[in-house]
Structures are given as structure tokens and as C-alpha cells.
Amino acid sequence: MHYKYNGFINVYKEAGWTSMDVCAKLKGILGVRKIGHAGTLDPMAEGVLPVAVGRATKDIDFVGDGFKEYRAEMLLGVTTDTEDITGNVLGRYEGELPGETEVRDAVMSFVGEYDQLTPMYSARKVNGKKLYEYARAGKEVERKTKHISIDSISIEKVMLPKVTFTVRCSKGTYIRSLCRDIGEKLGCGACMSALLRTRVGDFEIGEALRIAEISELAGSGTGGIDSILSIRHATAVTIGKFDGAHVGHQALIRELKKTAEALKLRTLVIILKFGKPGVLTDAERKEKLYELGVDYCIELEFTPELMNMSAEDFLEKILIDRFCMKAIVGGKDISFGRGKAGNAEFLYANADKYGYTVDLIEKVKIEGESGRTSRTSEGDSAEVPADDAGRDISSTMLRSAIKNGDMQMASELLGSSYSISGVVVHGKGLAGSSRMNYPTMNIEVADELNVPPYGVYAVKAEIFESEGSKGAGTAAGGGGRGAGTGPGGCSAGSGGGDSVLTVSGIANLGERPTVHGSVEGGTRLRLEVHAFGDIGDCYGKLMKVQFCSFIRPERKFDSIDELISQIFEKDIPACESYFSRHGES
């Protein structure tokens, strides 16, 4: 199971929310199913609530086991059943309250370790049932004490009957129970009247975001949320654009996993986003990296702030502090920071200081054939360099192959067929009409993609029964239909537990100029697929289209009848011939 977002978010929990309320709200905002929090805060309390999203839920203990800091207000002379001001009053002290010196001495006496009795209104379980469930039913049950540690207390203000103090304590400490215990020691009783959590481990209140702020970031795209995610487990890191996740990137990921396994680290890929069209959408790039076995993928927008950040700051503030890096893996030309100062020499020089290892590998070289040709967007043959063998595999090489419609080269570089994915949407219905009898499945192509030349292709399509089951769609939308009438066949399979139908067919990538009037008609770029074989209703299903061979460029025909003739007399036979040559009749 892959997740759109994976990591920790430093949430500012507001008063009136339970910790689970926060998680439920974030599930809706982020569109994820797996969320947890590190350390419960009572509804009346505010402050830092670390929330683990997606795969980070397995690392919650790396956050929750650390010290926490609180700013608390204690009300002397009042005791309640919940041990805070929200509960039912059990008693009010009628005598004279202790003096300030006595109060200060009592508060400070709790610095150190002691056994604290768990409050009845708490989530700890007794006999498989939460204590607050007993309390709400009016039942008192025997509770055990828990050994806790109060690292420090700083008394900020004493204005009797209220006392304000800051406390640094261990996991499992109840501040309202601390107030109760102080009140008992003073003989007047006490309850907690306000609480602000200011720190949980490395999560500080100054960096915590309210739900409304997180919602706004989510609306700005994947990179918005990634900008606030952190990782708390020690990681092995690699950095790059990873456009296409080609075979060179895949070799790097294998080395990253090898290093992480040896050192018992999580794997993290940091994707630098430059805002330019890529081979994959953001979602597809992450999905492919997760399929390669990466634990975490984080996108960093290449903003002016990041561009001007020194190599030292990038290393310390991002790689070490935010992502807990203990190993870095990359190519020998690795670089980051202002002026690309974060190079191999820099990394080796700082390894002992920050406690990480460095593993730099050679780039993978292509083993392609020589003298091959590819198709340009105009349909003419264009020579590939006489001998590609020995060249470093790069994203530039991959983009060039795709731009030229060289699907064979693109597939070699990707290690699999080049594809575009998306949810099938409604077309104009012309192709499936009685006039054409050529039903198609339509997917909108994301603006962020580098795409092959507009034209007709022989394709293979995977259609997933569950919408979004692969998690890598290039577009969202309504439905579409495909009920192919040409020769060929379909095969059923499964992927990720979902039923998958695989079918060969013919596709047009472009703007449909015969229908819309011109190649530059300003319409949304679409991929239309006609399946060879009856596949039924595909509205709303995710489809992954693999480009097998370029047939011809897109052009405007003088009439629909001329287009129909081209499709049935030339294009479909050309696709049939391709599949026949490759043993896929």
C-alpha cells in the first residue's frame, strides 16, 4: 500500500479538539487513510501534536518516547473528578491557602522521578478497557502507578490561587495529575486550569501549524504538504530530480536500499522540483519510487530560498535535523546548496562531524544499439547518435527519446514501457457513435508532463477495477467507456490486490484537430484509446497506457469520413501488424 504523503506534521492542536479529532480532520484534508498521533492532548489543552501520516505511523515511537515540555496553570483550592477545570467539582478548600514560598517549594519538590497515579479520566487501559470509559460509567477501578521523570520545572508566575509553571517531563506524565499531587502535598488540593504543550522531542511550538494552515497548503498541491513533512527514524538519503526514475535512478535506489539494510535505516528519496514539465507527474514519480521499495519520498520545491541556502545549512537543517540522515548515497557528481558547494568533497569532509556515511557510485551507461532511427513530431525519420553505447544514462536522454517518439529507446531507459496514466473521462461520444463505431477511452493528460509527439500509437492498456488503485493517475475526472470492436484480445490479471484487465489497442495523443478545427485548437490534451476486444464499461476506472510503437503524426483531415477511412484502412492494420510481429495477435 502506497500513500500520497508519508512523514510527520507538527500540528498546533487548538482547544476543544481531541487528538483523534485532529487525525480525523487531517485524513479528509490529505486524502489518506493511515494517520496517528504521538502523545494525546486533552480537549482543553493546546499546543504541539506530532501527527504521523502514512508510512510514518510505524515510527511514532521514535517521537513519543522523548521528553515533552508544557506550560501549565494550576488552580489551588479546587479538586475535580477529571483533575482539570473542565470536570465536576469534588471539593473547595475553605482554609487559608499556603504562602508563595511554601507553594514554590512544593512545586519544585517534584523535580526528579516518582510514581504517579494514573487519572481515571485517561486513555490507559485496564482489563482491555480505557479508564475514561469506566469513569463515565461511574465506576472506580484499581489503577497502577507509573514511574515518570520530571526533568525540570520553572515557576513563571505565582498569583494565588493560580500558579503558572513550565515543566519538562518524560513520556506518560499527566500534568493534571502533577497538579493534583502538588495540591495534595500542600493540603489544599489543586486542579489544572490551562495547558499548552510547547515541545515534543524535536517538534517545537514555534513551527506548529493549525489545521486551517495545513488545509491551505494541501490545496497548493503535493509539494505544499511535503514542505512541512519530517522523518524521525534514522535514514539513508539520496537527492535528485528523479524525472522518469530511469534505469540509472533504479541502480541508485538499489544501492540506497543496500546501504539502509546494512545500517538498519529507512530509505529516503529527496526529489528536487524545478517546476519544469517532466516524464512523470508528481504522483507517478512517487509511486514508481515506492514500487522500487523506497520508504519515504519527499518533494522539495526549488524555491529562491532553497536555491540560496548554503551547503552547510542544507546539510544541517534539512538533511540532519529534518530528515535524520545517517547515510547519503548518490552519484559522484552529487551537489546541493548555493553554488553547488555540497559536493563529494564537502560530504566526506563533514561526515565525522555529523555522524553519517557517504556512498558515491558511478553512473549507469547505456548499452543501446547504434544507427537506430526515431520519428520526429512531423513524422520524419531522425537519426539517433551513431553510437549511444557508453553514454551516461540521464533524464535529458530520456526526455529526448520521448520527444522524438522513440518508444524503444524510452523503454530501454525506463526499464519498462513508457506510459501515461489517468482516470477514464467522458469524451464527445463521436467515436462511439453509429457513424464511426470506434468507441474510445479518454484520459486527460497532465500539463506537467513531457509527452511524445502528437499522433497515433500502438498501445497496451491496463485497466484497474478500483479507481485510483495504482495511486499514480495523471488526471482526475469523471468516466469514459471502451468497448473495442477490432481484432485482438484481452487478458486479466491483478495488481496490488485489484483486478486488472490488459488489452492491446490503438491510441491517439493530441488535440483531435479534425473534431476541433485545428491542431492548435486550445483544447485540453487527451489520450484516446480504442481497445482490441470487448472490455465493457470503463467509466471512472484508472487506466495505464503503455506506448509500444509510433504509427503516424496527428493531422487534420478534411472530413470525418476521411478520418474514419484512415483509422480503419491504415491505422488499425498498422497496429495489428506491429502486434503480430511481436507475437501479440
Per residue in 275-286, pLDDT (tens digit) is 777 788 788 888
380 is catalytic: no
Is residue 101 classed exposed, middle or buried when 0-12, 13-18 and 19+ CB atoms within 10 A define those classes?
exposed
Peptide bond into 161 cis (omega under 30): yes
Angle, CA of 222, 223 and 226, to the nearest 5°: 95
Give the H/E segment covering residue 113: strand 112-117
Alpha-carbon torsion (534, 539, 545, 548), positive or negative: positive
Percent of the chain with pLDDT over 90: 52
Across the beta sheet with 266-273, the strand order is 296-301, 266-273, 235-240, 325-331, 357-361
Can you tell me which residue has the cell 469514459? 480
Which residue is catalytic, options 21, 42, 59, 105? 42
Q: Phi and psi of 448, rounded to 5°?
A: -80, 0
Higher pLDDT, 223 or 71: 71
Per residue in 135-152, pLDDT (tens digit) is 777 778 878 889 999 999
Average pLDDT score, the chain: 84
Higher pLDDT, 65 or 229: 229
pLDDT of residue 485 exceeding 60:
no
| Over residues 464-468, mean pLDDT | 60
Per residue in 331-345, pLDDT (tens digit) is 988 999 999 999 999
- The CA-based diameter of the chain, rounded to the nearest angstrom, is 102
Distance in angstroms (rounded) separating the CA atoms of residues 344 and 334: 6
Higher pLDDT, 120 or 16: 16
Distance in angstroms (rounded) separating the CA atoms of residues 203 and 212: 19
- The pLDDT of residue 199: 96
| Over residues 176-180, mean pLDDT | 96
* Contact between residue 506 and residue 467 where contact means Cβ atoms under 8 Å apart: no
Higher pLDDT, 349 or 520: 349
Q: Work out the pLDDT band at 84, boundaries 50, 70, 90.
A: very high
Start-to-end CA span in the chain (Å):
34
C-alpha cell at position 450: 513531457
- The pLDDT of residue 478: 29
Alpha helices in 160-246 (DSSP H): 175-186, 211-218, 222-226
Distance in angstroms (rounded) separating the CA atoms of residues 12 and 159: 28
- Find, among 243, 318, 316, 315, the residue nearest to 274 by Cα: 243
pTM exceeding 0.75: yes
Q: Which of 119-128, 260-269, 426-435, 471-480 has the lowest mean pLDDT?
A: 471-480
- The pLDDT of residue 429: 55
